[in-house]
Amino acid sequence: MSRVYNFSAGPSCLPLEVLQEAAAEMTDYRGSGQSVMEMSHRSKDYEPIIQNAETKLRTLMNIPDNYKVLFLQGGASTQFAMVPMNLYRKGTAAYVDTGVWSDKAIKEAKKYLNVDIAASSKADTYTYIPENVSIPAGYDYAHITLNNTIMGTRWTVLPKIADNAPLVTDASSCILSEPIDVTQFGLIYAGAQKNLAPAGVTVVIIREDLIPETPLKGTPTMLTYKIHSDNSSMYNTPPCYTIYILGKVLEWVERNGGTEGMKKRNEEKASLLYSYLDASNFYRGTARKDSRSLMNVPFVTQEKDPEKAAALNKKFISEAAAAGLVNLAGHRLVGGMRASIYNAMDISGVKALIAFMETFAKENK
């Protein structure tokens, strides 16, 4: 069977070159006589693998020396608790609510400190990013979700914070999709399964002065940033193979122009798809135009009857899969369809999707 175009929101498609390289090294990594899957994380064979991943990430994102890079486990969902446990100072944080994942982060943070909602787009079903967000002084930190996977929105102008309290962001679904200034954030975290690697490793980039000697009382050892920082992400066995693939993905990004190259690639794909949606009299995008994500494009048909729309969505998803365009079902909170077009998705996949959409529209008007 030939490879499909995988539009999954995550785990998502990986660069074919990376998969082929990993396949060639599966049973014997560079003459070691073993797979990376079998290696001790403390061996001389594995040490350069994790070092390479950190070095490449630092270079690609221009991460300053006063930031630590940690390779952790538990996904972004564990960071929802780890952030308040470790950044707790006075006991209050500001969160901006822009979607399902920010809502989950808020609910988790409330278990450990007081949370003020600085702005929210919930009343309009999260179809946009609030504008001109200003956060007053006095907070331990402020938190945003940089790209909203389910709703298909992204931040382009960061909130203003009165006293320079650290800005924390969940960048799981947009990390490396375009350049970002790391110094604008105190902490960036990202699950790997969208733009970085297979599921299993979570990248945390944290300014050193934010790592407390002692976190909130009762914080488990495994949820303490200092423990992982002091042990170079080796306090316990890290997700070794995922970090290995991460290194290869970072090398692929480097070969393809770095974050500037990814931005150009992603803007071209997104522009093509959004332009088609805007010109269509059969489909429409659901996110407000000024907030549209480069990574996740939710869309629906313009059928107004709910039952007919549901049947049409089901038919679209089924026929698309048969045509080699898979994982296009929208999230249940938005409905319709969603095309996730992360870094590894080639523009040929977007063109194939648009061609299918055009045919489907003609046959189902």
Of 360, 205, 343, the C-alpha closest to 263 is 343
What the block records as the tokens of 329 is: 């079902």
Helix (H) or strand (E) holding 50: helix 47-61
d(CA 149, CA 295): 8
Cβ neighbors of 297 (< 8 A, separation 6 or more) are 152, 270, 273, 274, 277, 285, 338, 339, 340, 341
Task: Say if CB 308 and CB 230 are below 8 A apart.
Answer: no
Place of tokens 């970085």: 196
Active-site positions read: 101, 170, 194
User: Which token pair is 36?
Assistant: 């990376």
Q: Sort 249 into a burial class: Cβ within 10 Å, 0-12 / 13-18 / 19+.
A: buried
The token duo for 192 is 């790997």
**Nearest CA among 80, 257, 79 for reference residue 176:** 257
d(CA 218, CA 210): 18
DSSP per residue over 140-188, as a string? S-EEEESEETTTTEE-SSPPEETT-PPEEEE-TTTTTSS---GGG-SEE
